[in-house]
Amino acid sequence: MTAHRILSWSPSAIVFDCDGTLMDTERHWQEARNLTFRAFGLKPPAGFADRAKGMHYTECGALMAEETGKPGLVGELTDTLLSTFTTLVDQDPVTMPGAASLVRLASRHRPLAVASNCPREMVESCLYRAGLLDCFGHVVVAGGEVRPKPEPDVYAVAARLCGVPPEEALAVEDSLTGMESARRAGLRVIGIGPCPPGPEAEKADLWVASLADGELLSWARTRIGE
């Protein structure tokens, strides 16, 4: 475990994932996937939610089509997935525990960015409704030449826009896909959630149960809020 790489260090910039890290939207993705499967008369394959976590929505739509043997429905599944998710989030935007207080503390002392696989309008709408959008100098999303996670692009671009080398930036992530992206871009990583067994544990330098973790908050007050 490399927790000392975080706890004994002060980042020059912080890049947050949005889904499942700042905003409690993973449940919305789960419901949107289930509703989309149902709308086309399809049954979710066993373990699909785990395989889809952290995926770009276009990749998720393609996986839905592949795993249900309906390759001709890729476009329709993808469009329905996104529109269903957008509706669900608009109805019930909720921040993750500890996210708002940590972001507001950090924004007073460091440049912040968001790196997400979600569409820009969705990320900005969620953060705006949560009262957090103004805390971020940059919102980087996949699209065009910026490849989605697990490719390193969104994190590499976010660090550059914050004006710091990747090795001086911290990524905050809840998905292994996102952690791989940040790690490949050269950032140090805080992982949110239970530490997985085996090699996947090394995708984050420090694991915390949530952004309300006491050790994390103490570190943030002394190493960021200085």
Contacts by residues 70-76 (CB-CB < 8 Å, ≥ 24 positions apart)? 70/40, 70/42, 73/40, 76/40
d(CA 178, CA 171): 9
The residue annotated as part of the active site, out of 17, 174, 205, 213, is 17
What is the token pair recorded at 145? Answer: 């030449």
A 10 A CB-CB count for 37 gives 19
CB 81 within 8 A of CB 34: no
Q: Which residue has the tokens 């049954």?
A: 43
All residues at 6 or more sequence positions from 98 whose CB lies less than 8 Å from its CB, including other chains: 210, 211, 212, 213, 216, 217
DSSP output for 171-182? EEESSHHHHHHH
Among 19, 24, 153, 213, which one carries the catalytic annotation? 19
**16 three-class SS:** strand
Burial call 108-145: b when 16+ CB within 10 Å, e when fewer: eebbbbbbbbbbeebbbbbbebbebeebbbbbbbbeee
Quick check: is 134 catalytic? no
Structure tokens at 93: 């935007």
50 is catalytic: no
Which residues are tagged catalytic? 17, 19
